[in-house]
Amino acid sequence: MPQPWSAPVAPGPVSATVTIPGSKSLTNRALVLAALSTRPSTLTGALISRDSDLMIAAWHALGVPMTVEGTTITVGTNDGFHGPAEIDCGLAGTVMRFVPPAAVLADGQVRFDGDPRARERPMGTILEALRALGAVVEGDALPFTLVGTGGIAGGTVTIDASASSQFVSGLLLSGARYDKGLTIHHVGKPVPSMPHIDMTVEMVRAAGVAVDDEEPNTWRIEPGPVGAVDWVIEPDLSNATPFLAAAAVTGGEVTVTGWPSKTTQPGDAIRDILAQMGAEVTLVDGSLTVRGSDKLSGVDIDMRDVGELTPTVAALAALADSPSVLRGIAHLRGHETDRLAALAAEITTVGGDATETEDGLAIRPAKLHGGLWRAYADHRMATAGAIIGLVVPGVSVDDIATTAKTLPDFPAMWADLLGGAR
């Protein structure tokens, strides 16, 4: 077991300018599209982290040449995907749900496995969809094996994607390479994290694929080639949120550079959330600045579309002076960990008052104290503990190294942030 990391307490209001690495969501979608293309592509400003390393390794295993120099990834041409191959998904939802719909195009067996927690994450929806489209799949969760024949018929499939938008995105990314293209119908409760599907649709179209999403809960992808695109990856806005939260909880000022004026990233919603909680938020010439006030107000907010921000917002809510209700996030029970149970437990551990609801969390003001904050191998749980530790002495995070999943060297970035405390 790693040694617990003592979360540093801010000696005063923080004052810093922060540059955030590239978006995991954009990087891993671009890597899938580049692998499916018959021409070379490059990614500039890509995220290099455990999740992207696992994605690159998956394509290497399937015969796609990729080289990494700094934050530039060059993807070469390939003559099709080949098995036998072993794919390690780690705990990366984008690998376990985006690669299989492409790997059904391989000739030969492709076996998928991952971390112990990954074996508990929902996979049945996408594997049943692939079976319905003509693939041979052995297993219903990790580990599972695809028996590829070099192609797949495709056609129309009906799924319930209420557990994860990644089920839709994974199929969208590869559907153009299916013989008949692909039509996806969603039935069931609303799909969470819809901005991530919008991101996928925009990127697939940028690669020259025709996508019709005019009908609600239906996506039609025409068969055809996937074009080469030289992708420029935006900073990861969700990974920026702990740094912006630091300004809000310490009454300081933090600027994140490279913030896009228009984006499909759900992390952009932090601007409105922080403003609702009492911070001053300005975006000027690609720099987003948050200035904290002398208090934090609670919020009552539906976070269905921006569930990945929940750990950051829950940490802020635990430090607010009025109650908060975070709604529409029942699907977080199937993320890297059960984030609702984990957040309720860890906020309580440090003296907070947090309880689960049917579809979210209720968090009430309380006097917090130090304690061991468990990360549950979840990068966003770890950063939530760091936020609370800024103003609550004695908080330690049991596994801060898990932040390397999407944010390399988070402890050093956090230390640099505090170096500018006033």
Q: Which residue ranges make up the annotated binding site for 3-phosphoshikimate?
A: 24-25, 29, 164-166, 193, 308, 335
Residue 103 DSSP SS3: helix
Q: Which residues are catalytic?
A: 308
CA-to-CA dists, residue 98 to 9, 93, 165, angstroms: 39, 8, 11
Distance of CA 317 to the CA centre of its chain: 21
- CB burial string 307-329: b at 16+ within 10 A, e below: bbbbbbbbbbbbbbeeebbbbbb
Token pair 């409760």: residue = 189
d(CA 135, CA 156): 13
Count the helices and strands in the chain (H runs, E runs): 12, 23
In sequence order, the β-bridge partners of residue 108 are 148
The conformational region for residue 208 under phi > 0 = left, psi -120 to 50 = alpha, else beta, is left
Binding site for phosphoenolpyruvate, residues? 24, 93, 121, 166, 339, 380, 405
User: By the 8 A CB rule, do 97 and 167 touch?
Assistant: yes
Strands of 32-172, DSSP E: 41-44, 66-69, 72-75, 85-88, 107-113, 136-138, 144-149, 155-159
Rg, the chain, Cα only: 21
Binding site, residues? 24-25, 29, 93, 121, 164-166, 193, 308, 335, 339, 380, 405
Which of 19, 12, 23, 95 minimizes the C-alpha distance to 256? 19
Alpha helices in 62-123 (DSSP H): 93-103
User: By the 8 A CB rule, do 259 and 283 touch?
Assistant: yes
CA dihedral (191, 195, 196, 197) positive or negative:
positive
Which of 272, 101, 103 minimizes the C-alpha distance to 200? 101
| Cβ atoms within 10 Å of 110's Cβ, excluding its own | 27
| Cβ atoms within 10 Å of 295's Cβ, excluding its own | 12
